[in-house]
């Protein structure tokens, strides 16, 4: 199905029959991607008394319990409620699901023992004045991102100044292939999260961050229609499936 829509004064098209899924699925066990020092997710038959929810074990249906943490185990979209005392739900934050997006690729810069995405690096890379949604793929970009164990590895992260630039450029929805936009061990400062959602300036409650994406090499940098699908869970974060459609 071809849809037509406007970006500013331009009329453009996208083919919804050619989706490019950039999510990491949830799988049971230690081969699933993982961060934040939690146990692997579990998908297993429900057990209650003599009942086991598995056709192989005699039940009429498969009836599984699923135990996971969206921040640690799967592509997820999170809202301002991730860093506020008040309960805020991503399910209430997003009311429409298609966005004009750009995909860029960056190699995080070495700084001491860290690898960072800096403001200067983004200034060199971002060619547009304004972005509704920005998808960032980091290098190296291997399929190992699908099952990497990130705990205690100090993954790359955004500096506070880099995030301030994205806010200046109007980014409402940021998608990254990292477990977090902040440093793994930062004493709870969460400078990048706070800068993005404006905790120390103008609050941006309608903005979202999606982490743990994976963008294969075959998807080229450029302009896309982005769809953010997610489970309707009343929580600060929910498992999500971001999908790109090439704009033509």
Domain map (residue ranges) of the chain: 2-25+74-246, 26-69
The confidence score (pLDDT) of residue 140 equals: 97
Distance of CA 235 to the CA centre of its chain: 15
pLDDT of residue 216: 98
CB 172 within 8 A of CB 204: yes
Assess whether pLDDT exceeds 90 at residue 248: no
Pick the CATH number of 2-25+74-246 from 1.20.1290.10, 3.30.360.10, 3.30.390.50, 3.50.30.50: 3.50.30.50
The tens digit of pLDDT for each residue in 84-139 reads: 999 999 999 999 999 999 999 999 999 999 999 999 999 999 999 999 999 999 99
Where does the pLDDT of residue 9 fall: very low under 50, low under 70, confident under 90, or very high at 90 and above?
A: confident
Residue 246: pLDDT over 90:
yes
Token pair for 224: 């896309």
pLDDT of residue 62: 98
Contacts of 19 (CB under 8 A, 6+ apart): 227, 243, 244, 245
Report the pLDDT value the prediction gives residue 5, as an integer from 0 to 100: 82
Q: What is the pLDDT of residue 111?
A: 96
| Cβ–Cβ under 8 Å, residues 30 and 43 | no
Model pLDDT for residues 198-214, shown as the tens digit of each residue = 998 889 999 999 999 99
Q: For residues 163 and 22, what is the distance between their CA atoms, to the nearest angstrom?
A: 22
> For position 41, what pLDDT does the model report?
98
Amino acid 201: pLDDT:
82
**Residues 95, 128, 192: CA angle, nearest 5 degrees:** 60
pLDDT given for residue 6 in this prediction: 84
Tell me: cis bond preceding 140? Omega within 30 of 0 counts.
yes
**Could you tell me the CA-to-CA distances from 101 to 137, 141, 243, 248 in Å, in that order?**
13, 20, 11, 13
- What is the CB-side half-sphere exposure of residue 155 using CA atoms within 13 A? 23
- Diameter over CA atoms, the chain: 64
Task: Tell me the percentage of the chain whose pLDDT exceeds 90.
Answer: 93
- Name the band, by pLDDT with cuts 50, 70 and 90, for residue 191: very high
Q: Is the pLDDT of residue 8 over 90?
A: no
pLDDT of residue 34: 98
**pLDDT score recorded for residue 3:** 85
Are 74 and 26 in contact, with CB atoms under 8 Å apart? yes
40 CB-contact burial (10 Å; exposed 0-12 / middle 13-18 / buried 19+): middle
Tell me how far apart the alpha carbons of residues 133 and 160 are, in angstroms, rounded to a whole number: 18
Please report the pLDDT score of residue 80 as a whole number: 97
């Amino acid at each position: 199905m071809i849809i037509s829509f406007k970006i500013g004064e331009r009329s453009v098209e996208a083919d919804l029959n050619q989706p490019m899924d950039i999510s990491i699925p949830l799988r049971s066990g230690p081969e699933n991607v993982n961060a934040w020092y939690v146990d692997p997710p579990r998908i297993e038959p429900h057990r209650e008394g003599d009942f086991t929810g598995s056709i192989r074990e005699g039940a009429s249906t498969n009836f599984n319990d699923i135990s996971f943490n969206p921040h640690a185990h799967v592509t997820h979209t999170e809202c301002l409620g991730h860093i506020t005392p008040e309960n805020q739900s991503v399910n209430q934050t997003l009311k429409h699901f298609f966005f004009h997006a750009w995909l860029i690729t960056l190699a995080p810069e070495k700084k001491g023992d860290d690898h960072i995405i800096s403001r200067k690096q983004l200034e060199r890379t971002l060619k547009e004045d304004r972005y509704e949604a920005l998808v960032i793929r980091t290098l190296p970009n291997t399929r190992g991102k699908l099952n990497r164990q990130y705990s205690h590895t100090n993954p790359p992260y955004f500096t506070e100044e880099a995030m301030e630039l994205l806010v200046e450029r109007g980014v409402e929805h940021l998608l990254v292939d990292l477990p977090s936009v902040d440093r793994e061990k930062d004493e709870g400062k969460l400078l990048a999260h706070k800068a993005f959602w404006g905790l120390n300036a103008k609050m941006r409650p309608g903005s979202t961050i999606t982490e743990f994406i994976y963008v294969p090499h075959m998807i080229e940098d450029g302009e896309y229609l982005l769809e953010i699908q997610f489970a309707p869970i009343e929580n600060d974060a929910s498992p999500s499936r971001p999908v790109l459609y090439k704009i033509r």
